Amino acid sequence: MQKESFIKCLSGNAINSNSKLQGEVIVSNINNFYTESSKAHLSIKVVLSGTEHYNINGQNFAVSQNEFLLVNQDVNIAMRIGKNNAKGICLFPSEKELSDIYTTTTSKTLSLLDDPCHKEESPMFTEKRYRFKDNGTGVFLINTIPHIYKALDSEYSFDTNLFYTRLGEHLILDQLKVNEILNGLSSSKKSTKEELYRRVDIAKNYIEANYTNRINLEEVANAAYLSKYHFTRSFKALYKISPIQYLLQLRLNKAAELLQQEYSYKEVAFMVGFSDVKNLRKALKRRIAA
- Grade residue 57 by pLDDT with cuts at 50, 70 and 90: very high
Is 285 in the same domain as 207? Answer: yes
Residue 255 lies inside a defined structural domain of this protein: yes
Residue 65 lies inside a defined structural domain of this protein: yes
Is 175 in the same domain as 194? Answer: no
Average pLDDT, the chain: 88
Rounded average pLDDT over 13-26: 62
For residue 66, the 8-state DSSP code is T
Q: What is the CATH number of the domain that holds 219?
A: 1.10.10.60
Residue 149 lies inside a defined structural domain of this protein: yes
| The pLDDT value given to residue 1 | 40
Rounded average pLDDT over 124-134: 93
Is 140 in the same domain as 265? Answer: no
pLDDT of residue 27 exceeding 70: yes
Is 137 in the same domain as 15? Answer: yes
Q: Is the dihedral of CA 170, 175, 178, 180 positive or negative?
A: negative
Where b means 16+ CB within 10 Å and e means fewer, 107-119 reads: eeeeeeeeeeeee
Is 23 in the same domain as 159? Answer: yes
Residue 118 lies inside a defined structural domain of this protein: no
Is 169 in the same domain as 198? Answer: no
Amino acid code (one letter) for 183: N
What is residue 94's three-state secondary structure? coil
Rounded average pLDDT over 103-107: 86
Backbone angles phi, psi at 26, to 5 degrees: -110, 120
Residue 111 lies inside a defined structural domain of this protein: no
CA 154 vs CA 10, 91, 147, 158: distances in Å: 12, 20, 11, 11
Rounded average pLDDT over 18-23: 68
Is 22 in the same domain as 67? Answer: yes
Is 157 in the same domain as 29? Answer: yes
pLDDT of residue 23 exceeding 70: yes
What is residue 202's three-state secondary structure? helix
Is 146 in the same domain as 210? Answer: no
Q: What is the CATH number of the domain that holds 160?
A: 2.60.120.10
Is 198 in the same domain as 176? Answer: no
Q: What is the pTM of this model?
A: 0.82
Rounded average pLDDT over 142-170: 91
Residue 214 lies inside a defined structural domain of this protein: yes
Look at 69-78, 148-157, 271-280 and tell me which has the smallest mean pLDDT: 148-157
Residue 1 lies inside a defined structural domain of this protein: no
Residue 172 lies inside a defined structural domain of this protein: yes
Q: How many structural domains does the chain have?
A: 2
Enclosing domain of residue 132: 6-93+123-182
For residue 20, the 8-state DSSP code is S
Is 86 in the same domain as 178? Answer: yes
Is 54 in the same domain as 162? Answer: yes
